[in-house]
Amino acid sequence: MPSVISAPILAHREVAPRHFVLTLHAPPIAASAQPGQFVQVRGVDWVDPLLPRPFSVMRAHRDKGDIEILYRVVGKGTALMTRWQPGGNAQVFGPLGKPFQLFPYGARVLIGGGVGIPPLLMLAEQCGRRPEAMRAATVVLQGARTADQLLCVEDFQRTGVTLELATDDGSTGHHGLVTDLLKPHISRLQARYGTVEVFTCGPMAMMRAVAETCRDGGVGCQVCLEAPMPCGFGVCMGCVVKVRGAWEIGQGSRRIKGWTMERHYKRVCHDGPVFDANEVVWDE
Ligand SMILES: Cc1cc2nc3c(=O)[nH]c(=O)nc-3n(C[C@H](O)[C@H](O)[C@H](O)COP(=O)(O)OP(=O)(O)OC[C@H]3O[C@@H](n4cnc5c(N)ncnc54)[C@H](O)[C@@H]3O)c2cc1C
Ligand code: FES
């Protein structure tokens, strides 16, 4: 059940140019937040902008009751947030939305870039805490334009899962798009583990390319979408995305899913932000 909290700000630091990590004391949210879920955040005295801004939960420290979000400064709300100091308070509502679904079998690839990285770090840390077999069967692929725009690299390294980087200018890792790395990893993991599930979050063009690669390779793919979110809890219809009709039989590894020609809309905040990539209509 989501909670609305006036959360004490515990820490606030710049981790890359125009990117900040904010730590908030929010015990009810920390107690239940899962990778892929998000919180709505606003200043306690905000008038303009009035509405909260959505951010993925990057970490939930259940023992301390703290959560961390990582945000990029893009407009009015995030610019105001940069002024927040430890000792102050922020209004937080969450956790909201449906999380990633992590299967205990097979292998997984987490692929993302930009501010799609926070939910993937939470997921990678969850995989890193699981038994060795799950850690070994998890690969993270992160892309950015340049090396200084890569995020949380040391945090990913600490999880113990395999991390590969790509930069457009070749300043670190693979010289090119992060999606170039996906197909070889899928083939290798499929040969070794049988089943592979891909989790992606980041720029739309990247997620669409990931979705196409997974569809062509017959691999499951969960996408964490972004949309403008006036309310965040399903009442305003301001965040809808076009999706296909779906049918499903069976459960777990024996689940079979298919798609129809029917088109309708779903709310990213309430039905997502995590969707099956095949459900999303990417090209209309
Ligand atoms: C479920 C969900 C999770 C999200 N998680 C994160 C996260 O973990 N970290 C994070 O930094 N952001 C995240 N976002 C995006 C974040 O909500 C927006 O960047 C934020 O609302 C912008 O608020 P603002 O007031 O600063 O910008 P606004 O004043 O609302 O917008 C200023 C300008 O920036 C553009 N803009 C808005 N959002 C973005 C964007 N994401 N990228 C580039 N340009 C944009 C607008 O079109 C506008 O032109 C998430 C969004 C959703 C829906
Ligand atoms: S933001 Fe209002 S319905 Fe999704």
Structure tokens at 79: 């610019």
Output the ligand 1 site: residues, CB below 6 A.
38, 49, 53-56, 69-72, 74-78, 115, 118, 226-227, 229, 273
Q: What is the pLDDT of residues 125-184, one digit of tens each?
A: 999 888 877 888 999 999 999 999 999 999 999 999 999 999 999 999 999 999 999 999
Strands 138-144 and 59-61: unpaired
Q: What is the pLDDT of residues 25-81, one digit of tens each?
A: 999 999 999 999 999 999 999 999 999 999 999 999 999 999 999 999 999 999 999
Please, are residues 32 and 95 in contact by the beta-carbon 8 Å criterion? yes
Nearest ligand for residue 82 CA: 1
Instruction: Please name the CATH architecture into which domain 107-226 falls.
Output: 3-Layer(aba) Sandwich (3.40)
Nearest ligand for residue 72 CA: 1
Give, using CA atoms, the residue closest to atom 27 of ligand 1: 75
* Domain residue limits, the chain: 3-96, 107-226
Query: Is domain 3-96 in CATH 3.40.50.2300, yes or no?
Result: no
pLDDT at 164: 97
Q: Say how many residues make up the chain.
A: 284
pLDDT at 250: 86
Neighbours of 15 (CB within 10 A): 11
Residue 192 CA to ligand 1 center (angstroms) comes to 39
Instruction: Please give the residue that has the higher pLDDT: either 234 or 130.
Output: 234
